[in-house]
Amino acid sequence: MAMQKSKSSGVVSYRFQRYFHTLQTGHYLLKKSMRQDPVRVFFQQGDIDGACGIHVFAAVMVLFDLAKSVALQDMPKRKYGVPSEVWKAFSHTFFAGVHAHEFVALVDSLKLPLNLTLRESKDGGLDRWVVDCLMRGELVAIVTASAKNSKFKHWSLALGIEGLVAGRETKPDTILLLDPSASEPSYRPHNARLRVPITGPGSRAGKSADELSQSPKSKATSKPIHWLYESGDFATEQVRLVSAVRFRYADWT
């Protein structure tokens, strides 16, 4: 966390990052556990499949203690238990992919102790809603689409948020991702990110960045942001949020 004090105003500013609370960084990304050894969280998508949705949900189940990582890695061969049921529900989407509404329906059919909330870009204010969830430390599975080719859609797990604090004002500007199509993160919790562009439409100098602020004066907007997707594995490109699914324990109040 870098901290800087302005000489003219005396305002202290710094960058912050906030992640889902059970993540543990190291050579591999792990999930902390009180009674068991930490387990791996990341599940990597193959080159020819369309199973990014399954891989994201597998990571969520590990983080919520709903299934063991080693069992999920073996789910097509399992005959009993939660991993087996997950494979029965999702196997038909392995190559074809899964849309957000079907994703929620399939997860609900498993009768797991999870509450899912689906929001889509057509609802308005999707970008701000996702940022608000992440500022509360929640997990959100997101679907992004290329700004150039909306037919290409991809699931990632948003598990953190980054931004600037200046005095009493908080300005989140970067969504931190666990992307199943990228390499496994090492010594950090994320392997990709969505960043508000510095210039151009939806830039930090425009309204969109201000509307992601946690300032009481800020308001949600229906105007979508063209985020910059950045990863060490792929070229930077502009994407937009299409859908998002927030996960909570069923007994959340």
The per-residue pLDDT for range 87-123, each reduced to its tens digit, is: 999 999 999 999 999 999 999 999 999 999 999 999 8
List % helix, strand, coil for the chain (3-state, nearest 5). 25, 30, 45
Query: Mean of the pLDDT values across residues 12-20?
Result: 94
Residue 246's DSSP bridge partners are 117, 140
Please give the pLDDT value at position 251: 78
Cβ(213)–Cβ(171) below 8 Å: yes
- 208/223 Cα distance (integer angstroms): 7
Query: Burial of 47 by CB count in 10 Å (0-12 exposed, 13-18 middle, 19+ buried)?
Result: exposed
Q: Output the pLDDT for position 171.
A: 94
Mean pLDDT computed over every residue of the chain: 89
Instruction: Tell me how far apart the alpha carbons of residues 253 and 250 are, in angstroms, rounded to a whole number.
Output: 9
Q: What is the tens place of the pLDDT at every residue in 42-53?
A: 999 999 999 999
pLDDT of 63 reads: 97
pLDDT for 211 equals 67
* H runs (alpha helix) in the chain: 52-63, 69-73, 81-90, 100-109, 126-135, 207-211
Collapse the DSSP code of 93 into the 3-class scheme (helix H, G, I; strand E, B; otherwise coil) and give the result.
Answer: helix
Per residue in 170-183, pLDDT tens?
999 999 999 999 99
CB contact set of 219 (below 8 Å; sequence gap of 6+): 211
- From start to end of the chain, where are the E strands? 3-5, 12-19, 23-24, 30-31, 39-40, 114-120, 139-146, 153-166, 169-178, 192-195, 227-231, 237-249
Stretch 71-83: mean pLDDT: 95
Tokens describing residue 32: 């902390």
* Amino acid type, 105: A
Query: pTM for the complete prediction?
Result: 0.90
Share of the chain above pLDDT 70, in %: 86
- Say yes or no to pLDDT of 202 above 70: no
For residue 11, give both structure tokens: 């305002």
Phi, psi of 186 (to 5 degrees): -130, 125
Per-residue pLDDT at 8:
52
Average pLDDT, integer, range 61-78? 95
Query: Do 157 and 137 form a contact (C-beta atoms < 8 A)?
Result: no
For the chain, the distance separating the N- and C-terminal CA atoms, rounded to the nearest angstrom, is 32
52-56, 120-124, 135-139 — which is least confidently predicted? 120-124
Q: Give 240 or 152, the one with higher predicted confidence.
A: 240
Pick 223 or 108 by higher pLDDT.
108
Q: Which of 5-14, 24-33, 142-151, 154-163 has the least mean pLDDT?
A: 5-14
**153 vs 149: CA distance, rounded Å:** 9
Position 217 scores a pLDDT of 46
